[in-house]
Structure 1
Amino acid sequence: MIYGIGTDICDLRRIARTLDRKSQRFAEKVLGPHEIEVFRDRLARVETRGVAYLASRFSAKEAFSKAIGLGMRMPMTWRACEIVKAPSGKPEIRLHGALAEWFTARGLSAHVSITDETDYAAAFVVVECREAHGG
């Protein structure tokens, strides 16, 4: 049963301007431990790839927060939600701490799709409830 659906689009130019103004503090606020390593590696190799990575993760977290119906309110935080790659390359959502506990207690699972182009990154998230739950 579908619990919620969320979508988001992000302007890469806006993310690049924010990085210029705030250095990597913005990335450190948005990205979880695994993501920040990938971001720094990509940014060091090709700056535009780093910006696209950050924007796609920002977009996916916004979409996820909408799909679970919390927005950016506790227990949903930027760093408690990470978008990681499965060995197959498929993006997956990895949750930490109170958010992981909240999500598991409701019997939820999530599916995420992300994409980016020259100027935009977008994400779509579907959250399912494994069984009928009043949540």
Structure 2
Amino acid sequence: MLYNGIDLINIDRIERAVQRWGDRFLQRVFTVREQAYRHRPESLAARWAAKEATAKMLGVGVRGLGAASRKTEAVGWTDIEIVNDPSGRPMLQLHGCAAAHAQRLHITALSVSLSHTRLHAIASVVALSILTPHHESG
């Protein structure tokens, strides 16, 4: 079975959040490795979009994302991490509740694609599960 999620964001929305909230925003939403892109708003925005796309793919949606800070079973922002492999290709790494959700869905492979224009960033996430639609509810 395939699961997917996609998200599009205005880059200036992330720029404004960084300007307004600074390190507080960066540390709440991005892992230490992702914060290396703090001076590249298009890269941060693409990672934000990937986190939202991943939440959609996992079935927790954007409302469930970030709720981990409220001590729930929801996926936290930093439970979803986008890093680059040695060739520069983005890779999705799941931690904590995000990894638990993926395990419950029997996800065996993940793929993330990031892109941006001058104004927008977009991310697409696809996951492969060993479950068939018939077995999904069990």
Aligned to 2:11: 12
How many residue pairs match? The answer is 125
Deviation, structure 1 residue 131: 4.0
C-alpha RMSD of matched pairs (Å): 1.7
Aligned to 1:60: 50
- 5+ residue gaps, structure 1, are 44-48
Aligned to 2:61: 71
For 1:63 and 1:131, how far apart are their aligned partners in 2?
A: 21
Aligned to 2:122: 122
1:50-76 deviation digits (Å, cap 9, x = unpaired): x11211110000111111111142432
- 5+ residue gaps, structure 2, are 65-72
Is residue 110–residue 127 contact of structure 2 (8 Å, CA) maintained in 1? yes
- For residues 81-92 of structure 1, the aligned pairs below 5 Å read 81-92=80-91
| Structure 2 counterpart SS, 1:32 | coil
> What is the TM-score of this pair, normalised by structure 2?
0.80
1:91-134 deviation digits (Å, cap 9, x = unpaired): 11101123213312432032110011211110011122034342
Runs of 4+ in structure 1 over 6 Å off: none
Deviation, structure 1 residue 21: 1.3
Aligned to 1:23: 22
> What is the TM-score of this pair, normalised by structure 1?
0.82
State the identity %. 34
Is residue 58–residue 101 contact of structure 2 (8 Å, CA) maintained in 1? no
Aligned to 1:99: 98
For 1:91 and 1:62, how far apart are their aligned partners in 2?
A: 15
